[in-house]
């Protein structure tokens, strides 16, 4: 079982920045794994924000909602990923979730979510 822990959420003023962290424990059960960030604003569906490929050499970002302000990257520790969020706007207010896609040793795809970290951007 993979456990996913997010942190770094806070209340900031518009124009500010935050760096969210995602730490995955138990990745030994995965042949390979990849992190992604999603967010869920009040009254809205959960939406994709950004992801890294399994070899961490490229990323995909939802430019429609982030407009180049967010960057996902891997930490020095291979079980850690970050979401750098700059020029925050009130519409970025949401619960942010980290999802780990895991190709298990048995060859099955599994997905693990954290409990989320709350970001509130005040105007």
Measured between alpha carbons, how far is residue 106 from residues 31, 56, 103, 115 in Å?
A: 9, 22, 8, 26
| Helix (H) or strand (E) run with residue 81 in it | strand 80-85
Question: Quick one: pLDDT band at residue 58, thresholds 50, 70, 90?
Answer: confident
Q: What is the per-residue pLDDT across 20-29, written as a single tens digit (0 to 9) for each?
A: 999 999 999 9
Q: In whole angstroms, what is the distance from residue 108 CA to residue 80 CA? A: 22
**Mean pLDDT, the chain, integer:** 94
pLDDT at 51 over 90: yes
pLDDT at 65 over 90: no
């Amino acid at each position: 079982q993979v456990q996913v822990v997010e942190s770094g959420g806070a209340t900031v003023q518009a124009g500010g920045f935050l760096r969210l962290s995602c730490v995955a424990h138990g990745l030994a059960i995965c042949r390979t794994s990849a992190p992604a960030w999603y967010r869920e604003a009040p009254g809205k569906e959960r939406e994709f924000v950004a992801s890294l490929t399994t070899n961490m050499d490229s990323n995909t970002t939802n430019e429609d909602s982030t407009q180049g302000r967010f960057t996902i990257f891997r930490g020095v520790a291979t079980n850690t990923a970050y979401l750098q969020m700059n020029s925050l706007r009130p519409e970025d207010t949401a619960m942010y979730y980290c999802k780990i896609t895991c190709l298990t040793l048995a060859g099955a795809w599994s997905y693990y979510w954290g409990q989320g970290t709350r970001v509130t951007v005040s105007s």
